[in-house]
Amino acid sequence: MKKKTAWEKMRCGKQPHVVEEYKGQSMLVSSPEEVESVMAVIPRGQVMTLTELREELAKRHGTDTACPMSTAIFANIVARAWEERERETGKRGVPWWRLLRADGKLNPKFPGGAAEQARRLAEEGLELDA
């Protein structure tokens, strides 16, 4: 069986769904494409944390929260898919490097690790704290 590319994983057609009772809250389990739609509009020179992304997703669906684990997995899929696309076309797409971990730190799991994310943010004029 052929291994799926990150692009194929992102474009899998998965639909968001709500878990009505998760620890007394309603929780959204989003989709890679919906996570991509939020990441796509992070303005140049700005960043968003994974927590802020989850809050935006929950707001869109009127839920108390969005699943932290699936949202992080989907964000990683989006980053890898757009890195694949950039290697193929030479053009940048969704600015995945503008998404920080929930704690505000760089994401070592993104393509090229924290060093590549730092390089791309610095390219946009952002200064990073150690």
Give residue-wise pLDDT tens across range 11-25.
Answer: 888 898 898 776 778
* 129 alpha carbon, distance to own chain's centre: 21
Which residues neighbour 71 within 8 Å (Cβ) at sequence distance 6 or greater? 30, 35, 50, 53, 54, 57
Q: What value, to the nearest 5°, has the Cα angle with vertex 22 and ends 17 and 25?
A: 90
- Residues 101-127: tens digit of each pLDDT: 999 999 999 999 999 999 999 999 998
Percent of the chain with pLDDT over 90: 78
Average pLDDT across the chain, whole number: 93
Query: Out of 1.10.40.30, 1.20.1250.20, 1.10.10.10, 2.130.10.10, which CATH number does the structure's domain 6-123 have?
Result: 1.10.10.10
Rounded to two decimals, what is the model's pTM?
A: 0.90
